Structure 1
Amino acid sequence: MHDELNIATPDRIRRAPKVLLHDHLDGGLRPSTVIELAEAHGYRELPSTDSEELGRWFVDSANSGSLERYLETFAHTVGVMQSAEALFRVAAECAEDLADDGVVYAEVRYAPELFQEGGLELAEVVEAVEAGFREGERRTAAAGRRIRVGTLLCAMRQNARAAEIAKLAVDYRDDGVLGFDIAGPEAGFPPTWNRETFEYLRRQNAHFTIHAGEAFGLPSIWEAIQHCGAERLGHGVRIVDDISTTGSGSVRLGRLASYVRDRRIPLEMCPTSNVQTGAAPSIAEHPIGRLRSLYFRVTVNTDNRLMGGTTMSHEFEKLVDTFGYTLDDMQWFTVNAMKSAFLPFDERLALINDVIKPGYAGIRAERLFTQAGGERTAR
């Protein structure tokens, strides 16, 4: 009976409270919204104006195994997000879609500098997105679901505007912006190029994460942590390169891997995306399995829901199918994420104790039935 209570069925996975730390706003649009915004703003470059076909195109294009090719798909989503109205709509729908998938807390990131082609100032971009998320939170609450959404502002490594975006994140940290990130191609753009920006953020007591260890190896992770002071690692997949197995079968952690585990540095892992970009060969071979067994501070994330054709529920379904994870494992990943959020400590603790743990306890209290229809009753 104990095992039955811990089974992570697709329905239970969807209803379980989930926490998302790594999701890109411009990577999570509804295909129908992309089409409608393109028509409204005169954007003519879409490969299809059929919603289903366009959704498939994004996923197929992202399945190239190349991070650079993966990033090219964003030309279309960014292209239709060049007005305050579009940003507001996309943010509101993002909150609704995440809440509908059982996400109770999310940190969604975007690069304000990418949305200025229509003449918006950086502050106008931030204010439109924040207003959209507040509207999405109101809509979900009215529908009987609750989600809290915070934002992270990204600077693109290749554009040399990190200092400007970091100041923007500090200026708006009392208005929904929780932290800062650098994104874009890792190769050729090491995090140390922005060391002064990270020093500024630390002086301001501001939170930040860094994309590292996705398309580039251990040096990227080492620089992000030791030179830049990253609190979390975006992806961090390649930390597994510092873990080996001895001839006797025991596991040996190198000094960097030991430091990451000992310091409980969170890894924002995105299984589907990591396979798409070639950071991992498959879900079965994804380092998340090994890192979870070694008790690294691993979290599960979506990265780009449109390009991945994914949701948080889909990510967990894949992990359950591949590694045999249970509700206990799901709760472990979820609490990890909530502990690692950029919210104040008391607010993180309240979500863990008042929302996440009771949510999982309630699902475990249900009796599973195997007859047709998947009927549930309370024990």
Structure 2
Amino acid sequence: MTDRPTLEDIRRAPKVLLHDHLDGGVRPQTVVDLARAGGYRNLPAEDAEELRAWFTSAADSGSLERYLETFSHTVGVMQSEDALRRVAYECAEDLAADGVVYAEVRFAPELHTQTGLPLEKIVEAVVTGFAEGGREHGIRVGTLVTAMRHQARSMEIAELAVRYRDAGVVGFDIAGAEAGYPPTRHLDAFEYLQRENAHFTIHAGEGFGLPSIWQAIQWCGADRLGHGVRIVDDITDRDTDRPQLGRLAAYVRDKRIPLEMCPTSNLQTGAARSIAEHPIGLLRSLYFRVTVNTDNRLMSGTTLSEEFAKLVGAFDYDWDDLRWFTVNAMKSAFIGFDERLELINGVIKPGFDRLKWHGDRPLA
């Protein structure tokens, strides 16, 4: 018998993060500093704590326009190589301080060209920042380059992913509004990535439903699903002890397609009504390949440890559950098999075992 994990102890656990946006996790003080240095004059507040409160309020406002405005400010100050490198370095530092040992952090290079920076310089600045932060703080951070689904640069960004895959880029993603912008609009990019043996994930099943998930998997060949919460729409009798999986849900589970779930963010976007009602509870009980993530740490006012702690409170999860989520994430990462196995057997499992047991006694 073990005690329930506390937030303090969860922070000490070796964790893995697969879905985190670089421009959604900038430190408020860094936003203020970069705005002053770069002449950005549109911030809603110039004090870091006031700005932090504004970001959280805007994200929780229920207004899509105000929520999207938050990213205009973080992206607005990330328009130089120095700014991008600093934000990436601090991201690695912050994740390491939260006990994350491996992370894949995504960003859209096309959003950082306002001052004329070429895409290559943008990617190199971010990869460098992650590498420097990783070396100094004991974390490995892989970069995911993202194309915006409402734009027409996905092939260009996919080529970047392949060009820099031996220099820190581990995969490709598309993001943005799902409704009206199906992933099949970018089929040429996905087919190119498959031919190049490259990894990619697709935001699907968050703001839209099953068709988005179906297209991402069956047309585009996604390795993982960004969010994927709406897969529950293909599960009936959910409130019984015998839930029935439809063909798509069964396929996702059978093929062990990872779901990059972000509980707090999913509440903010309306994909779930409360943590206790979040589909992650059902999907975990049915043994889908569920992972736990942060999405946008600044806008959601969260960390990966806090996301785990909320799930512990809602579903009474124990250390075995948290280790299960973490191993799922490490199995689903876009680095090589040997590297994943080394982290699972050499870092994650021993780390959780130390927290679960102190000698022959349960953790107090």
State the TM-score, normalizing by the size of structure 1.
0.93
CA RMSD of aligned residues (A): 1.7
Partner SS for 1:77: helix
2:124 alignment counterpart: 127
Question: Is there any run of 5+ residues in structure 1 with no aligned partner, and where?
Answer: 141-145, 370-375
Distance change >3 Å, CA 99–CA 368, structure 1 → 2: farther
Q: Kindly indicate whether the alpha-carbon contact (under 8 Å) linking 1:245 and 1:252 is maintained by their aligned counterparts in 2.
A: yes
**Post-superposition offset of 1:248:** 6.8
Which of the residues 146, 156, 172 maps onto 1:180?
172
- Please give the alpha-carbon distance, in whole angstroms, between the structure 2 residues aligned to 1:270 and 1:246: 21
Percent identity reads 70
Provide, for residues 127-160 of structure 1, a one-character-per-residue CA deviation record: whole Å limited to 9, x for no partner.
00011111111221xxxxx210000000001111
Partner SS for 1:158: coil
- Please give the alpha-carbon distance, in whole angstroms, between the structure 1 residues aligned to 2:196 and 2:240: 48
- Please give the alpha-carbon distance, in whole angstroms, between the structure 2 residues aligned to 1:356 and 1:22: 18
Structure 2 matches for 1:204-353, cutoff 5 A? 204-245=196-237, 249-353=241-345
- Please give the alpha-carbon distance, in whole angstroms, between the structure 2 residues aligned to 1:155 and 1:260: 24
Q: Kindly indicate whether the alpha-carbon contact (under 8 Å) linking 2:289 and 2:328 is maintained by their aligned counterparts in 1.
A: yes
**Post-superposition offset of 1:247:** 9.2
Alignment: residue pair count: 364
Which of the residues 177, 184, 189 maps onto 1:192?
184
Residue 35 in 1 paired to residue 32 in 2?
yes
The letter for the 1-side match of 2:131 is R
**Post-superposition offset of 1:363:** 1.1
1:373 alignment counterpart: none
Distance change >3 Å, CA 120–CA 3, structure 1 → 2: same
**Post-superposition offset of 1:52:** 1.1
**Post-superposition offset of 1:67:** 5.2
Distance change >3 Å, CA 232–CA 66, structure 1 → 2: farther
Question: Is there any run of 5+ residues in structure 2 with no aligned partner, and where?
Answer: none
**Post-superposition offset of 1:307:** 0.3
The letter for the 1-side match of 2:195 is R
2:102 alignment counterpart: 105
Which of the residues 142, 151, 161 maps onto 2:153?
161
Q: Kindly indicate whether the alpha-carbon contact (under 8 Å) linking 1:26 and 1:74 is maintained by their aligned counterparts in 2.
A: yes
Q: Kindly indicate whether the alpha-carbon contact (under 8 Å) linking 1:65 and 1:275 is maintained by their aligned counterparts in 2.
A: no
- Please give the alpha-carbon distance, in whole angstroms, between the structure 2 residues aligned to 1:199 and 1:188: 21
The letter for the 1-side match of 2:90 is E
Distance change >3 Å, CA 365–CA 134, structure 1 → 2: same
Q: Kindly indicate whether the alpha-carbon contact (under 8 Å) linking 2:2 and 2:356 is maintained by their aligned counterparts in 1.
A: no
Partner SS for 2:105: strand
- Please give the alpha-carbon distance, in whole angstroms, between the structure 2 residues aligned to 1:336 and 1:314: 18
Distance change >3 Å, CA 69–CA 224, structure 1 → 2: farther
Distance change >3 Å, CA 367–CA 32, structure 1 → 2: farther
- Please give the alpha-carbon distance, in whole angstroms, between the structure 2 residues aligned to 1:201 and 1:367: 48
Which of the residues 72, 78, 92 maps onto 2:75?
78
Q: Kindly indicate whether the alpha-carbon contact (under 8 Å) linking 1:64 and 1:277 is maintained by their aligned counterparts in 2.
A: no
Q: Kindly indicate whether the alpha-carbon contact (under 8 Å) linking 1:67 and 1:215 is maintained by their aligned counterparts in 2.
A: no
- Please give the alpha-carbon distance, in whole angstroms, between the structure 2 residues aligned to 1:314 and 1:187: 30
